Amino acid sequence: MTTWEYAPAPENRDIANLKPNYRMFVDGEFTEGTGEPLKTVNPATEEVLAEVSTASTSDVDRAVKAARRAHDRVWGKMPGAERAKYVYRIARMIAERARELAVLESLDNGKPIKESRDVDVPLASAHFFHHAGWADKLSYAGYGPDPRPVGVAGQVIPWNFPLLMAAWKIAPALACGNTVVLKPAETTPLTALVLAEIVQQADLPPGVVNILPGAGDVGAAVVEHPGVDKVAFTGSTDVGKIIQRAIAGTGKKLTLELGGKAANVVFDDAPLDQAVEGIVNGIFFNQGHVCCAGSRLLVQESVADELLEKLRARVSTLRVGDPLDKNTDVGAINSAEQLRKITDLVASGEAEGAERWTSACPLPDKGFFFAPTVFSGVSQAMRIAREEIFGPVLSVLTFRTPEEAVAKANNTPYGLSAGIWTDKGSRILWMAQKLRAGVVWANTFNRFDPTAPFGGYQESGFGREGGRVGLEAYLDV
C-alpha cells in the first residue's frame, strides 16, 4: 500500500505585513503608550513577533476622555445613515485586507489558517456589514421611536478570536452611536491594531475608536474608569465576577460573555457520520479555545460504542501542526500558560479514572501543541466534566433517556451553548426548551452568524451579542 503524504502548503507569512513595533491607537492617532511594552509571541514557534506598546492608567484616562469628546461632539449626534457609511467602509476594508488579517491572526494566535481565512475574518467583516445596516433603522428595532446611544463603551476581549471579538464589540457599539475604548488580549493584540489602522483609513472621527493593548491591569482601568458608561467583557468567569463586583452600584451597563461547558447531545437516531463531524467541529475547532465549545459529549448508550469508534477514527485524521499550513486542522495552543492548564486538567482526568485516548498524530518539536484527546467513561463528578478545559479535550458521558440527557446537560453552573443530534424534529424542539443554554444548535455546532444573538445563562454571563436583541446592550433603554 502506498501512503500519500500531503506536501507542506504554507501560506506566505510576508502577507501579514508584520512590523517590528505596534503602538496603541488613541484619539485617531497611533501613539507610544506609557505602560511597560509587551512582546507578542508566535505560539507555534515561540519566536517573538513584535513589540507592542501598552497603555498606562493615564493613557486609559486620555482614551476615555477622547471617546467622550467624540461621542458628545460628533458620533452620538450623527444621523444613523451617516454613521452607517463609516461602518460599511470598515466592513469593506476588512474584506479587502482579508488575507493579510488572516495570516496575521494565525501568526499571533496559533489558529489554523483555514479557520482564520474561512471563519474569523469573513465573520468579522460580516458583523460590520450587519450592524452598518442597523445604524439608520434603530427606530424600528423595538427599543422606542428614537433610541439613544449609551455613551462610552469600555470593552475587554479575549485571545481566542482576537479580530472577531473586536468586531463583535465594536460594530454594534458604533452602529448605535457609542464610542469605544477596547483592550485586546495581552497575547494577541496585533489584528486589533490593524483594525485600528482600518478605522483610521476609514476616516472615522478621532476618538470614536480607541485600542489600548495591555495586560489585565489595563482592562481593569478601562472597566473601572468613571467616564465609561457601558462595559462589555468576553473572557473567563473569574474575571467576569471581578468586573461585576467592581462596577456594582456605578450605574454602568454591563454585558458578560464568559466560560462554558457545553453539552453536545447525540441520540441514537442521529445522523451518526455528521454527528461525528459536529462533535469534531464542536471541540477541535480553534484547538478547543472556544467558550461555547461542545466539550461534554452526551451520547445515548445504545450507540455509544459505534459512535466512539467512528469518532476516534475521524479524530485520527486531524492534522495538527503549523498554523500557516493550509492543510492544518488543529493549530497551536495560544500560550505556555494555557498549555499547562490543559495538561493539568488532562492529568486530573486520568487520575480520576477516566479512560484517555489521544490521537497518535505527530506534533511539531517547537511551539505549544496538544494532541486531540478524548476521555471516555467520564462521570459528572470528575473535574474534566465540570471545569472548562479550553483545549482540544473532549469528555464523553452517556445517557439512557431524553430526560436523563436534559438533566445531565443542565447539570453545570455554565449555560452558554448546547447541541442536539437527532432526526426527530419534535425532540429537537422539546430539548431546546428544556436546555438552559443561550445558544442551542440542532444537528450542527459552532455555527455563527451576525443575525443570531449569542450569549449565556448563569456563570456563562448575560446579555446578547448579534441580531436585533444584541443592539439593546448599546442603546440607552
Partner 1 sequence: MVAPPTASGLTPEFADVTRDESSLRRFLHGLPGVDQVGVEQRAAGLGTRSIKKASKLWAIDTAISMVDLTTLEGADTVGKVRSLCAKARRPDPDRPEVPKAAAVCVYPDLVETAVRALAGSGVGVASVATAFPSGRSSMRVKIADTELAVAAGASEVDMVIDRGAFLSGRYGQVFDEIATIKHACGDAHLKVILETGELATYDNVRRASWLGLLAGGDFIKTSTGKVSPAATLPVTHVMLQAVRDWHDSTGELRGVKPAGGIRTTKDAIRYLVAVHEVAGPEWLSPELFRFGASSLLNDLLMQRRTQLDGHYSGPDYVTVD
What residue ranges bind partner 1 (CB under 8 A)? 1-9, 114, 118, 269-275, 277-278, 309, 317, 326-327, 423, 443-444
DSSP percent split of the chain into helix, strand, coil, nearest 5: 45, 15, 40
- Which of residues 371 and 469 has its CB atom nearest to partner 1 in the complex? 371
Residue 351, phi then psi, degrees to nearest 5: -65, -35
Closer to partner 1 by CB, 277 or 476: give it.
277
CB within 8 Å of 421: residues ≥ 6 apart: 264, 265, 266, 267, 270, 271, 274, 275, 278, 442, 443
For residue 31, what is its C-alpha cell? 501613539
| Closest CB 29 distance from partner 1, rounded Å | 40
Minimal distance, residue 97 CB to partner 1, in Å: 20
Question: 403 near 431, Cβ under 8 Å?
Answer: no
Q: Judge contact between 231 and 201, C-beta under 8 A.
A: no
Residue closer to partner 1, measured from CB, 255 or 417: 417
Q: Which of 187, 207, 215, 170 lies closest to 57 in space, CA to CA?
A: 215
Q: Which is nearer to partner 1, 270 or 297 (CB)?
A: 270
Q: How far is the CB of 401 from partner 1 (least distance, A)?
A: 20
Closest contact distance (angstroms) between CB of 114 and partner 1 is 6
Could you tell me the smallest distance in angstroms from the CB atom of residue 324 to partner 1? Answer: 11
The set of cell numbers assigned to 169 is 464589540
Query: Of these residues, 257, 388, 465, 472, which one is catalytic?
Result: 257
Q: Is 350 one of the annotated active-site residues of the chain?
A: no
Q: Which is nearer to partner 1, 61 or 269 (CB)?
A: 269
Contact 184, 309 (CB under 8 A): no
Check: CB of residue 262 under 8 Å from CB of residue 416.
yes
400: DSSP letter: S
Q: How far is the CB of 240 from partner 1 (least distance, A)?
A: 32
Q: Which grid coordinates are listed for 444?
A: 450542527
Cβ nearer to partner 1, comparing 129 with 421: 421
For residues 120 and 161, what is the distance between their CA atoms, to the nearest angstrom? 7
Residue 383 φ then ψ, to 5°: -60, -40
Query: How far apart are alpha carbons 233 and 291 in whole angstroms?
Result: 13
Angle between helices 272-284 and 301-316 (to 10 degrees): 60
Residue whose CB is less far from partner 1, 201 or 274: 274
How far out from the chain centre does Cα 46 lie?
Answer: 22
**For residue 193, which phi and psi values (nearest 5 degrees)?**
-75, -30
Helix axes 98-109, 190-201, angle to 10 degrees: 160
CB of residue 188 to partner 1, shortest distance in Å: 24
Give the residue numbers annotated as catalytic, written as ranges: 257
